[in-house]
Amino acid sequence: MITKFGLYDFIAGVIPGILFLWGISLLSGCVDIPLTVTGGLTETTILIALAYVSGLILQGLSQGITERILLKIWGGFPSARLLLQEDKQLSEEYKNKIKQIVESRYSIKAGKGLSKKDQMKRNQEIFYLCYNAVDKEKLSDRPQIFNAHYGLFRCLLTTFSLIFLFDLGILFFGGLQKKSLLYVLLAFSLVGAVVSYFRTKKRGEDFAKSIYDLFVVRFSE
């Protein structure tokens, strides 16, 4: 698994890093602090290295800060939220089937009558059991692909948000030599952040659903 996703992990780090450095270079030009690369081999190598390191930092920020904000907005991980009774993305019959299999295999009750906070905690525990069962059987690479996409879009959301905030700060407090460029970059980063947000949400849900699907298909008998 590590070998298979090694190249993807590298690309997922470089792409947000290059995007971030590109945005910063445009912003620096607006305040007459040019940051340019001449295009030589040495400069290109340095750019790739800086982009990868920047991507790793952005990944850390996206996991430590962005994800916490997203969980506040979403009300918890999609994997736990999907099993709530009030959530309608999965049918009641399907959710009951998951809980029935977990109870039968692991003797863990679904947790009826619990508070929402405790129910979310129990649902997440159920998900981890499903995930580990599916991962142990090596049933499909699809969940890992969804999870990798989730990490990429979460990092892009962080990148676009930072560019948007930096752009907004320069627009209000910095030089305005290229005001039109600032507005274009502001709009671009805002659209990128919105799209990345919805793709992050979708891929998080796809990851959870794929685990539940594989678990039910494999262990329902």
pLDDT digits (tens, 9 = 90+) for 146-159: 998 999 999 999 99
Q: What is the pLDDT along the chain (221 residues), one digit of tens a residue?
A: 344 446 666 777 788 888 888 888 777 665 544 445 555 556 667 777 888 888 889 999 999 999 999 999 999 999 999 999 888 888 999 999 999 999 888 888 776 777 888 889 999 999 999 999 999 988 888 998 899 899 999 999 999 999 999 888 887 776 555 677 788 889 999 999 999 999 999 999 999 999 999 999 998 86
Give the residue among 166, 206, 204 at the shortest CA–CA distance from 30: 166
Whole domain around residue 169: which residue ranges?
2-219
Number of domains composing the chain: 1
Q: What is the pTM of this model?
A: 0.83
For residue 90, which of 64, 126, 115, 121 has the smallest C-alpha distance?
Answer: 126
